[in-house]
Amino acid sequence: MIAGRQILGPSDMFPLIDVSGSARERGLQHGLKGRERIARSIATYARLFAYCGIDWRGAQRLGAGYRDLIGDLDPALLSEIEGIAAGAGRQVDEILALNARTEILPPSYPGEPHPDQRKIAAANTKLGVPDWGECTAIAVKPAQSASGSTLLAQNWDWLGAQRAALLLLRVHDAAGPSLLTLTEAGMLAKIGLNRSGFGVCLNILRSADDGAHPGVPVHVLLRALLARANVDEAIAFASKLSFGASSNVLCADASGATAALEFSPRGLEVIRGADAALCHTNHFLAPDAAKHQASLAPSLSTVPRLERISALTAAQRGKFSSADLQRMLRDESDGYLSICRSPDPALAPEVRIETVASVVMDLGERVLHIAPDVPTRAEYLPVALAETVPA
């Protein structure tokens, strides 16, 4: 319990959707059970794209450009996307646009609104579309973990309106639950782990080369990575791909391997975790990639957040527990620009970033500890790969 705050409890946890069967069947189940939250995702991104000068029809056209790339990467993932669309009663290109939202957003976001923002938003409304810097991540090796397990943690900072579109997606195969991910409804994956004890977190990055050519969408990549057994397999898989936009996947496995996979249209850079804790925020750490870093909006606070989380992990005395990482992710020492971010009312809603959710994963136990809100006003609740959400 956090003193002086109204704390959210188990009833506030994101809904859990179990999916199984063929790829299309999994998609249908996701679409049917997550229909309302998928509509919320579409509303959020239609508004966000309008802020950037892209109407929802244009976003769908851009999303459609990723169909063949996804099909070439894994035909089953494209079939699952088609199933999501059918189950939710949406166009396939709408679900493609959601899964390619990082690639569609221009590298200038967040910045000043497009001059036609209001006109585009009004056009979206006529179409029937409703209206309504992200992340600090940490990986801790088993030798420095109080539980003896690899720990992987993240504050996911994004638009607060999108919290109502989040869900937990658990994918089953013939052997049982194979992966568990906290994601945005309609998207294949985001933060999560699999039965092998391999886990992924995501930090959005921006390079001057973003949009230079199409490539595998990051949210599709995350799902594909969750089919790998460990960090080495993930690196080998990602190194063969081409990317259209920049992001970092902080990943770790139950054996203790940790790595930051920084990718951009120029390729993949890998930063191996050598210290007790490997930390990452929203700018490139690899020297060659950093040369092509797009300008950073002050509201991202990526450099001071990295400095703060690095200082907190370096000051840790003794081994890291899940509670230690939760305390660090609740740090509010820099106001609206802190590791734990509350929404700044001075900013436009389309760039008003806050911590939407916070996750601490125990990869040995295959458990996600999730705070379903700004973590200073929510308890972390355990959700195991093979168990139900707490009642």
- Mind listing the pLDDT tens digit for each residue in 319-345? 999 999 999 999 999 998 899 999 888
Q: How many CB atoms lie within 10 A of CB 12?
A: 13
Last residue of a domain, one of 81, 104, 126: 126
Is the bond preceding residue 106 a cis peptide, omega within 30 degrees? no
Could you give the number of structural domains in the chain?
2
Provide the pLDDT confidence category of residue 391 given band limits of 50, 70 and 90: very low
C-beta separation of 353 from 341 below 8 A: yes
In a domain, 391, yes or no: no
> Domain span at residue 104?
19-126
Provide the pLDDT confidence category of residue 35 given band limits of 50, 70 and 90: very high
Predicted TM-score (pTM) above 0.85: yes
DSSP 3-state assignment of 189?
A: coil
CA 391 vs. chain centroid, Å, equals: 25
Which residue from 298, 318, 301, 297 is spatially nearest to 309, judged by alpha carbons? 301
CA 340 vs. chain centroid, Å, equals: 16
At 131 the pLDDT is 45
Task: Summarize pLDDT for 285-326 with one digit per residue, the tens.
Answer: 999 999 999 887 766 789 999 999 999 999 998 999 999 999
Asked if the model's pLDDT at residue 375 lies above 90, the reply is yes
Q: Are residues 35 and 160 in the same domain?
A: no
In a domain, 13, yes or no: no
In a domain, 225, yes or no: yes
In a domain, 143, yes or no: yes
Task: Summarize pLDDT for 183-205 with one digit per residue, the tens.
Answer: 999 999 999 999 999 999 999 99
Q: Are residues 77 and 172 in the same domain?
A: no
Q: Are residues 222 and 369 in the same domain?
A: yes
- Burial 48-83, CB ≥16 within 10 A → b, else e: bbbbbbbbbebbbebbbbbbebbeebbebbbbbbbb
At 296 the pLDDT is 74
| Mean confidence (pLDDT) of the chain | 90
Show the DSSP H helices in 198-340 as ranges: 218-225, 231-238, 287-290, 302-314, 322-329
In a domain, 14, yes or no: no
Q: Higher pLDDT residue, 163 or 175? A: 163
Query: For residue 94, which phi and psi values (nearest 5 degrees)?
Result: -65, -45
Task: Summarize pLDDT for 237-287 with one digit per residue, the tens.
Answer: 999 999 999 999 999 999 999 999 999 999 999 999 877 899 999 999 999
Whole-angstrom distance, CA of residue 45 vs CA of residue 245: 17
Percentage with pLDDT > 70 across the chain: 88
DSSP 3-state assignment of 387?
A: coil
Last residue of a domain, one of 81, 101, 126: 126
DSSP E strands in 55-143: the ranges are: 136-140
Beta-strand relationship, 353-362 and 277-280 = unpaired
DSSP code of 245? Answer: S
In a domain, 349, yes or no: yes
For residue 287, what are the CA distances in angstroms to 26, 184, 284, 308? 41, 32, 8, 21
Q: Are residues 100 and 181 in the same domain?
A: no
